[in-house]
């Protein structure tokens, strides 16, 4: 269990930072609410309409592709850990990842050429 | 000590999952599910699978939940839609599926004790996974890239039908 203690401490500090700040600002900060201050914050611009509008499907495409390339990155992680160990017996371990990335890269070229990453069209 | 952590993570996961169901605002539901996924990652660590725990956070809590959030935003649920009491139109299906799951759970609990299960005797390190994956399971590994390629093309075709 011991290697997980630093991670646990980090998570507790992260959680504590957020919670303490919210609670402390509640007690320490001055409070003079006005109509302007209570307006929804939209980068200083007067709010226009509801925030719940229909978002473009482009966000969905981008996220979908993000997940797929995320999955790819997940496999690179154990590969990087064992690379030195396996590379002693030749270039095979390098070539297998090269082939893997080449196949994914074909998908990337497809996405690019299809214009799925183009925001304006 | 492990039992204490198990209880913390398990109760967090159950609590977050229950909170997800009872939320009216789907965005809050989504965030509750993120918390449940984080708690599950903690459980994976206790089971001796740190790599799965890391992937649980990177892929599920990170990427998949962002996708869920975007889907909720795509659906454009207005305030009336969110606050309308749910009509039990799908109640028979819900009862059937839920009952089946309950039955399954009951069968599992009949055979295994609630605490002190002998899972995760030895920790599987990332190194072990890497060695197995890039020697013995090289073929499935390469095939997974083809699967991802198919998914990439599918995602583009689904969302951008005009091209």
For A40-89, the pLDDT digits (tens) are: 777 777 777 776 677 777 788 888 888 888 888 888 989 998 888 888 88
Chain B residues within 8 A of A115 when measuring between CB atoms: 160, 163
What are B79-127's pLDDT values in tens digits? 555 555 666 677 888 899 999 999 998 888 887 766 655 555 677 788 8
**Contact residues for A64 (Cβ-Cβ < 8 A; gap 6+):** B67, B155, B159
pLDDT of residue B17: 94
| pLDDT computed for residue A30 by the predictor | 85
Q: What is the pTM of this model?
A: 0.76
- The helix or strand, by DSSP H or E, that contains position A23, with its residue range, turns out to be helix A5-28
- pLDDT tens per residue, range B1-16: 778 888 999 999 999 9
Supply A49's token pair. 């309409």
Range list of H helices, chain B: 2-22, 26-46, 50-55, 65-75, 79-83, 91-111, 126-133, 138-159
Task: Please say whether the beta carbons of A99 and B146 come within 8 A.
Answer: no
Q: Can you give the pLDDT at residue B115? A: 62
Distance from CA of A51 to the nearest CA of B (A): 10
pLDDT value at position A33?
A: 85
Distance separating alpha carbons of residues A71 and A102, to the nearest angstrom? 15
Quickly state the pLDDT bin for A114 (edges 50, 70, 90): confident
Is the model's pLDDT at B58 over the cut of 80? Answer: yes
* pLDDT at residue B117 in the model: 57
Average pLDDT, chain B: 83
B30, B68 Cβ separation under 8 angstroms: yes
**B159 contacts A64? CB cut-off 8 A:** yes
Query: In chain B, where are the structural domains located?
Result: 1-82, 125-163
Contacts of B160 in chain A (CB under 8 A): 61, 114-116
With a cut of 90, say whether residue A34 has pLDDT above it. no
The domain spans of chain A are 2-114
**pLDDT recorded at residue A1:** 56
Task: Collect all residues of chain B within an 8 Å Cβ-Cβ radius of residue A90.
Answer: none
pLDDT, residue B2, reads 78
Is A111 in Cβ contact with B148 (below 8 Å)?
Answer: no
d(CA B107, CA B150): 38
Chain A residues touching B163 at Cβ < 8 A: 114-116
Number of other CB atoms surrounding residue B5 within 10 Å: 16
Q: Model ipTM?
A: 0.72
Cα B2 to Cα A4, A52, A80, B67, B119: the distances in Å are 12, 44, 30, 33, 12
Closest chain A residue to B159, measured at CA: A61
In this structure, whether the domain defined by B1-82 belongs to CATH 1.10.10.10 is answered with no
Smallest Cβ–Cβ distance between A55 and the set B59, B74, B152 belongs to B74
Residue B59 pLDDT greater than 70, yes or no: yes
For domain A2-114, the CATH superfamily is NADH:ubiquinone/plastoquinone oxidoreductase, chain 3 (1.20.58.1610)
- Residues ≥6 apart with Cβ < 8 Å to B42: B5, B8, B9, B12, B53
The C-alpha atoms of residue A60 and residue A30 are separated, in whole angstroms, by: 41
At residue B79, the pLDDT reads: 57
The Cα-based distances of A63 to A111, A117, B12, B29, B144 in angstroms read: 13, 11, 27, 19, 20
């Amino acid at each position: 269990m011991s290697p997980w203690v630093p991670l646990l401490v980090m998570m507790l500090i992260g959680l504590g930072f957020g919670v303490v700040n919210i609670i402390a600002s509640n007690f320490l900060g001055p409070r003079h609410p006005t109509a302007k201050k209570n307006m929804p914050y939209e980068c200083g611009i007067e709010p226009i309409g509801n925030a719940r509008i229909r978002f473009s499907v482009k966000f969905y495409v981008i996220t979908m592709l993000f997940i797929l390339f995320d999955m790819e990155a997940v496999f690179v992680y154990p590969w990087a850990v064992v690379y030195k160990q396996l590379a002693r017996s030749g270039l095979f371990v390098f070539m297998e990842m090269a082939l893997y990335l080449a196949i994914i890269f074909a998908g990337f070229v497809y996405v690019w050429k299809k214009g799925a990453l183009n925001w304006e069209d | 000590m492990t039992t204490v952590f198990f209880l913390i993570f398990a109760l967090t996961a159950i609590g977050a999952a229950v909170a997800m169901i009872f939320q009216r605002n789907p965005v809050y539901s989504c965030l509750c599910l993120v918390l449940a996924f984080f708690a599950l990652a903690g459980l994976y660590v206790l089971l001796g699978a740190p790599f799965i725990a890391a992937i649980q956070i990177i892929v599920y809590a990170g990427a998949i939940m962002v996708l869920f959030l975007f889907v909720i935003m795509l659906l454009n649920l207005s305030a009336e839609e969110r606050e309308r009491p749910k009509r039990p139109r799908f109640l028979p299906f819900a009862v059937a599926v839920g009952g089946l799951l309950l039955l399954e759970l009951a069968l599992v609990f009949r055979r295994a004790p609630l605490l002190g299960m002998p899972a995760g005797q030895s920790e599987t390190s990332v190194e072990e996974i890497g060695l197995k994956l890039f020697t013995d399971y090289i073929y499935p590994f390469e095939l997974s890239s083809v699967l991802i390629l198919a998914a990439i093309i599918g995602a583009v075709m689904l969302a951008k039908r005009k091209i």
